Structure 1
Amino acid sequence: MNTDRGPLTADMSPSPWPTVAGAVVLLTAVLSVLLTAFAWPSVRSSAHDLPIAVAGPAAAAEQVGVVLDERLPDAFEITEVADTAAAEQLIRDREVYGAIDVSSGTPQVVIASAASSAVAQTLQSVATALGRAETPGASTAVATRDLAALPADDPRGAGLTAGALPLVMGGLLAAVLLTRLVRGTARRVTGALAFAATGGLAVAAILQFWLGSLGGSYPANSGAVALTIAATSLSILGLESLLGTVGFGLGAVIMMLIGNPLSGTSTAPEMLPGWSGTLGQLLPPGAGGQLLRSTAFFDGRAATQPVVVLAAWLALGGVLCLGSGLRRMTGRQRA
């Protein structure tokens, strides 16, 4: 029996070494981009232009502002108010993250840890330093009041932070599966919206009733999650319907490599380097995180901007899907 299989065919021949080298270079570049996307915002995170209030007499408030600028230059954007009540209202309306209250003489700090535990910790450390400077040798403990505390079951806000990535992944997964399993633009859009609704109910229930990471109204929290998933999945579906696989890759890059690291969910948008925090709030992951904080801990205050951002992405995805469907229909009619 002849066991000679003959020479390798062209399809079975080993790849040229330049191809191997090119693959290695490409993989190294992808790894570098992934590391930069996720590590850079965290490593370069710092306080800059954090909106806070200083409550008290004008002279005392101005002095606090001078001291803060000396200790942490450009860290805070200060709004001076006359009394404690005005500062607390700004915090509840999510116009500032917290306040330093010097209306009684001794500095006190008013925080909202649900808005950002990282900013709350920064304010507490600053107030402690101010108290130590005013009364050297005295106790460094500073009175602190939390107007919007995180739930007792999740005092560090870990659930809210960890939930940001699954929301993005859920939108990506929906776009992938609907593209592969469902034919017809209308059916894909309907599937994406239906999944957003059921996903919103499920995710909010897990975070609120099981993990205890959310407060507030369950329907409102479900709506915030659903809108985030819908904006993510429908915009990626729209890009895929317009550009094919390239569109899906573009959507994944926008949501995963840009939107998720720059969402500011784990800290605050103002703590991200440079312009990146502002950019992050214009993308679904950042807008969705801010919207969920508003519904869960602030009775929906400051929800307008994130709702507008998410609705814009949702509308963009719908328009792209509609345009692609009409184009295919016109092509079939001409054929």
Structure 2
Amino acid sequence: MTQSAAPPDHTGQGRKLAVVVVGLAAVVVAMLCAFALPSIHSGPHNVPIGVTGPQTATAAVSKALSGEEWDVTTYDDEQALKAAIEDRDVMGGMVLDSGHITAYTATAGGAQSTAALTNAVTALAKQQQADVTVTDLRPFTADDPRGAGLSSAALPMIFGGMIPAMLLSRLFPGHAGRWLRLTGTIAFAAVAGFAVAALLQYGTGSLSGNYWITSLGLSLGMAALALTLLGLQSLMGMTGYGLGAAVIMLLGNPLSGLASGPHWLPNGWATVGQLLPPGASGSLLRANAFFDGTGAGGPALTLGCWILLGLALILIADQRGSRQSATDQPAPQAQLV
């Protein structure tokens, strides 16, 4: 007698389809939250600014600007205020004189925060019937006064980390290709960092810092992202790569603050964004390209930690692969004498 084929498990297939549909819907909702919520709640959030002038005037301005938008610090004189802006202790500030207000800004530190500060100073001067002079201590370049090149660097830095991790895993798969994948990832990050910096500095004129330092910073950012994704892929396969890429695209990209500066995002979102590779890479690029490296230490340390994490994941995967290879080798056969 021949046995009939077992009927298809429609119940199991239905459950699988339901899980896939719910999972995809959750991803779409997560994307909406990650991209929409920071934008909806964007604006100046505790933007550090400085004031100097007569004590009564600075006290009045500090009171007028109190709230969640501004974090006001009083300085002894104009030179101290300008030094604080150059050192990135504050985003900008104002010098209060009788009938006149001098505003100092640093547009390269965050164009939207600078615009908000300028509007606040203009409104304050109008109330006091005072004249206003605005001086930008750290502007964008003359060739790119709106900073479009800096803003456009976000996606190249992100894809510069995602693409090599995926491509090299395909070209050099398995335990045997581990060192080629690692070497290729590091080499790609170095070449791509210098190429992107050359285009932005010499092609579009968007950057004004030291080319070599800026290039190394870009390479560091791409290496941090690529090695982390490569480590996840080596340890967990495409599932690990997909999870890492989703976090980078859904959180890292919208929360990087590269276009607006981190102070334009809500405080919690901004903190998360600066701890992820895209945000740290953007802050490092801003520091090297426009502030002579001032403020580069924190982002560089963050990226260094991501690189160490990626290398640790790769090492764990390598050790697991070595044990698996030893287990799969056939036992030596006893020789007959």
SS in 1 for 2:170: helix
Maintained 8 Å contact 1:164/1:289: yes
Query: Is 1:66 aligned to 2:60, yes or no?
Result: no
State the alpha-carbon separation in 2 of the partners of residues 26 and 200 from structure 1.
36
In structure 1, the residue matched to 2:222 is 229
C-alpha offsets along residues 210-242 of structure 1, whole Å, 9 cap, x if unaligned? 111111111111111101100000011111111
SS in 2 for 1:127: helix
- Amino acid aligned to 2:233: E
Q: 1:15-26 residue pairs with structure 2 within 5 A?
A: 24-26=21-23
Instruction: Using structure 2 for the length normalisation, give the TM-score.
Output: 0.88
CA RMSD after TM alignment? 2.1
In structure 1, the residue matched to 2:204 is 211
| Alpha-carbon distance, 1:331 to partner | 2.6
Structure 1 gaps, min length 5: 1-9
Could you tell which deviates more after superposition, 116-125 or 15-24? 15-24
- Amino acid aligned to 2:254: P
Structure 2 gaps, min length 5: 1-6, 329-337
State the alpha-carbon separation in 1 of the partners of residues 319 and 288 from structure 2.
37
Structure 2 vs 1, CA of residues 20 and 251 (structure 1 numbering), >3 Å: closer, same or farther?
closer
State the alpha-carbon separation in 2 of the partners of residues 334 and 31 from structure 1.
42
In structure 2, the residue matched to 1:153 is 143
State the alpha-carbon separation in 2 of the partners of residues 103 and 289 from structure 1.
37
- Amino acid aligned to 2:31: L
In structure 2, the residue matched to 1:174 is 164
Maintained 8 Å contact 2:113/2:263: no
Structure 2 vs 1, CA of residues 279 and 19 (structure 1 numbering), >3 Å: closer, same or farther?
closer
Query: Is 1:128 aligned to 2:122, yes or no?
Result: yes
Task: Give aligned-pair identity as a percent.
Answer: 43
Maintained 8 Å contact 1:55/1:103: no
Structure 2 vs 1, CA of residues 218 and 250 (structure 1 numbering), >3 Å: closer, same or farther?
same
| Alpha-carbon distance, 1:103 to partner | 4.8
- Amino acid aligned to 1:42: S
State the alpha-carbon separation in 2 of the partners of residues 26 and 330 from structure 1.
34
Instruction: Using structure 1 for the length normalisation, give the TM-score.
Output: 0.89
- Amino acid aligned to 1:126: A
SS in 2 for 1:45: coil
In structure 2, the residue matched to 1:112 is 106
State the alpha-carbon separation in 1 of the partners of residues 34 and 154 from structure 2.
16
Maintained 8 Å contact 2:65/2:72: no
State the alpha-carbon separation in 1 of the partners of residues 97 and 80 from structure 2.
12
| Alpha-carbon distance, 1:19 to partner | 6.5
Aligned residues: 318
Structure 2 vs 1, CA of residues 331 and 103 (structure 1 numbering), >3 Å: closer, same or farther?
farther
In structure 2, the residue matched to 1:57 is 54
